[in-house]
Chains A and B, each alone.
Chain A
């Protein structure tokens, strides 16, 4: 332990604690920009580059960056002397000197750490930089996210996420001095880089440099068009986070208000991606059982483990980095795409309209979904199964634009026939949820018995890589789970080297699964928010009357009326896909 004094009060902290952390323990919030610490997830960024967190330490000539200065015995620290505040102001003015001042129309306004600290410090003018050139870097617009590097302050949080956490390596710092930015190799566009569009760089960017591609205008146009039937689906993780955008406590479930808000925006039908999640389990679960039964029966041509394929960033990742293993992921499409495919065939037929006259919108916690819905595999004659995918944040913006008082909305239900869902579908939103849902169904089908207990708590949690063995009535089934792509890489390399012996693996690209997705309300480095969202998801699961996918009545009806057998011919055509190796640098 180390004893020190901060702002006149003494405190004892563990050796290795930084001055910033020690101050935080005492309730003193030192402003930070480049510093980021998502403990529990092992994510830390502390280049000590921005110098906004400087403090005065007695006996030292220079101010010290508190984010990376370790506490020492007897240290006397002052966090807000005039000298400290003036230094912070100077740092901020220098950061702002070449930063665009378009806060009024910046999509990050109100959520921007740079803006907030500038306001807190009371910056009202930027001295002696009248002639400083404002940065004019080329904008990079991809189907999922936008890079506006004029707004980059070189905190390098995105670089840490992209390289150390996700091990994608699409973004790195290039050039030096004024022209320094974070960019893909050769300054090419993101779409030409190995970027998976996971959106975690957007989730941690403190400014408006990295944001999602905004699709809301297209949706408003479609809704206003009387010749179009516009239907909407909403992913499980959205209902556990949307409330935050309206001042509600993290982890508040807003399922009913969400349905009500979508109806008031003017969608013709309000459906649930959870319906398609149950459908995914029918397909993926059947595929798992098919492979498993053959494997256990001694068929050596069968590939195991089976990997989940719901996460589009994960799909992009293995297509880029594991091109020789494209035959092990499940061929099942993601719930978003299954929904779109069923909507534009089965449901369009029911309504008696052409697929071109139907617009399918999805609300997702994810930015990679924007990329996914534009993939050629998911188009018929150029018409996409899902036309537009918007993030939880974009939906919140739409609700505000339509002047809807979200908090006082009544709870409403989803529409039929693509709106019913089970508890198994809801938990898709948290890491471990998809495999738990699959296990619930696979167990009952494999053993012919009903589950002794429905909650598989051994599959839950926030640990990066988890393993569990589930007893299928005498047959042990080994399950692996990873979230964050760096953990996925470890797991996959382990499989390649024969280190692991799994039957099935779930992988999600984002921390905590979809609840921590790149399209969710900004967590501003508070990882507890992600935990609370996950708890809300499991709470919704417990409250559902049906908690296994193979008992979803609307899904069973869909098979009976239209699809035929799970994993059958029509299901293959509409609900499965194939993967292609992507060579990206």
Chain B
């Protein structure tokens, strides 16, 4: 077991120890807490939670993949949220998302191999006036088209 695996498992055990006698109805709060502390849900974390709650790991994975909020890879240095709410959809957010996937060569929920970018699809982020909009670590990029995406990505790439 590598040190990172050990520390992940230790961290999960610590979180779980705060939930003695936890049953399946505490599953989501526990997963949220783990993601908050560790940034994502690792395989080791999901397995540990399964042992503690006496639930099949496939069940926990099923619950976690149902909700957009959970991720299974560490976030990149720059975390890109793509709004797919109604207004953004009408204004062409699907093309924006496609362009991001092409440019970064990852799917939503994934992180680029160099660890620089991660991609997340979110429902409405409450900036409909700016549609279609993406949010990169608190910076909103508004009125996007797919053509604008490579330029924006390169800007962050240059910063490293």
Instruction: Point out residues on A near B: beta carbons under 8 Å.
Output: 163, 168-176, 183-187, 193-194, 585
Q: Is the CB of B59 within 8 A of A163?
A: yes
Collect the chain B residues with CB atoms within 8 Å of residue A183's CB: 58
Collect the chain B residues with CB atoms within 8 Å of residue A184's CB: 58
Closest A residue by C-beta to B64:
A174
Closest A residue by C-beta to B50:
A585
Q: Is the CB of B47 within 8 A of A174?
A: no
Q: Is the CB of B57 within 8 A of A174?
A: no
Q: Is the CB of B61 within 8 A of A172?
A: yes
Collect the chain A residues with CB atoms within 8 Å of residue B58's CB: 169-172, 174, 183-185, 193
Collect the chain A residues with CB atoms within 8 Å of residue B61's CB: 172, 174, 185-187
Query: A175–B65 Cα gap in the complex (Å)?
Result: 5
Query: A163–B58 Cα gap in the complex (Å)?
Result: 10
B60 at the interface (CB under 8 A from A): yes
Query: A168–B57 Cα gap in the complex (Å)?
Result: 11
Give chain B's interface secondary structure class: helix
Q: Is the CB of A163 within 8 A of B62?
A: no
Could you count the A-B residue pairs with CB atoms below 8 Å apart for me: how many are there? Answer: 46
Collect the chain A residues with CB atoms within 8 Å of residue B47's CB: 585
Query: A301–B1 Cα gap in the complex (Å)?
Result: 36
Q: How far is the CB of B67 from chain A (nearest CB, A)?
A: 8
Instruction: Point out residues on B near A: beta carbons under 8 Å.
Output: 43, 46-47, 50, 55-62, 65-66, 72
Collect the chain B residues with CB atoms within 8 Å of residue A176's CB: 65-66
Q: Is the CB of A175 within 8 A of B66?
A: yes
Further pairs besides A163-B56, A174-B61: 8, Cβ < 8 Å: A168-B56, A170-B58, A172-B59, A174-B65, A185-B56, A185-B57, A187-B61, A585-B57
Q: How far is the CB of B76 from chain A (nearest CB, A)?
A: 21
Q: How far is the CB of B27 from chain A (nearest CB, A)?
A: 13
Query: A187–B64 Cα gap in the complex (Å)?
Result: 12
Closest B residue by C-beta to A180:
B66
Collect the chain A residues with CB atoms within 8 Å of residue B57's CB: 169, 185-186, 585
Closest A residue by C-beta to B60:
A185
Query: A173–B57 Cα gap in the complex (Å)?
Result: 12
Query: A186–B50 Cα gap in the complex (Å)?
Result: 13
Q: How far is the CB of A490 from chain B (nearest CB, A)?
A: 15
Query: A176–B61 Cα gap in the complex (Å)?
Result: 12
Q: How far is the CB of A417 from chain B (nearest CB, A)?
A: 46
Query: A171–B62 Cα gap in the complex (Å)?
Result: 9
Among B43, B62, B72, point to the contact of A172 (Cβ < 8 A): B62
Closest A residue by C-beta to B61:
A185
Q: How far is the CB of A321 from chain B (nearest CB, A)?
A: 11
Of A169, A176, A185, most buried by chain B (CB within 10 Å of CB) is A185
Collect the chain B residues with CB atoms within 8 Å of residue A186's CB: 43, 46, 57, 61, 72
Collect the chain B residues with CB atoms within 8 Å of residue A170's CB: 56, 58
Collect the chain A residues with CB atoms within 8 Å of residue B62's CB: 172-174
Q: Given A185-B46, A585-B47, are A169 and B65 also a contact pair (CB < 8 Å)?
A: no
Query: A170–B50 Cα gap in the complex (Å)?
Result: 13
Q: How far is the CB of A135 from chain B (nearest CB, A)?
A: 16
9 pairs, A vs B, C-beta closer than 8 Å: A168-B56, A169-B57, A169-B58, A170-B56, A172-B56, A172-B59, A176-B65, A185-B46, A186-B61
* 8 closest cross-chain pairs (CB), A and B: A169-B56, A172-B58, A172-B62, A185-B57, A185-B58, A585-B57, A185-B61, A174-B65
Q: Is the CB of A169 within 8 A of B59?
A: yes
Q: How far is the CB of A127 from chain B (nearest CB, A)?
A: 23
Q: How far is the CB of B151 from chain A (nearest CB, A)?
A: 30
Q: How far is the CB of A195 from chain B (nearest CB, A)?
A: 10
Q: How far is the CB of B39 from chain A (nearest CB, A)?
A: 18
Query: A163–B46 Cα gap in the complex (Å)?
Result: 18
Collect the chain B residues with CB atoms within 8 Å of residue A171's CB: 58
Q: How far is the CB of A170 from chain B (nearest CB, A)?
A: 6
Query: A143–B43 Cα gap in the complex (Å)?
Result: 25
Collect the chain A residues with CB atoms within 8 Å of residue B56's CB: 163, 168-170, 172, 185, 194
Q: How far is the CB of B48 from chain A (nearest CB, A)?
A: 10
Q: How far is the CB of B59 from chain A (nearest CB, A)?
A: 5
Closest B residue by C-beta to A173:
B62
Query: A460–B7 Cα gap in the complex (Å)?
Result: 53
Collect the chain A residues with CB atoms within 8 Å of residue B60's CB: 185
Query: A187–B109 Cα gap in the complex (Å)?
Result: 15
Query: A585–B43 Cα gap in the complex (Å)?
Result: 10
Query: A170–B57 Cα gap in the complex (Å)?
Result: 8
Query: A585–B65 Cα gap in the complex (Å)?
Result: 16
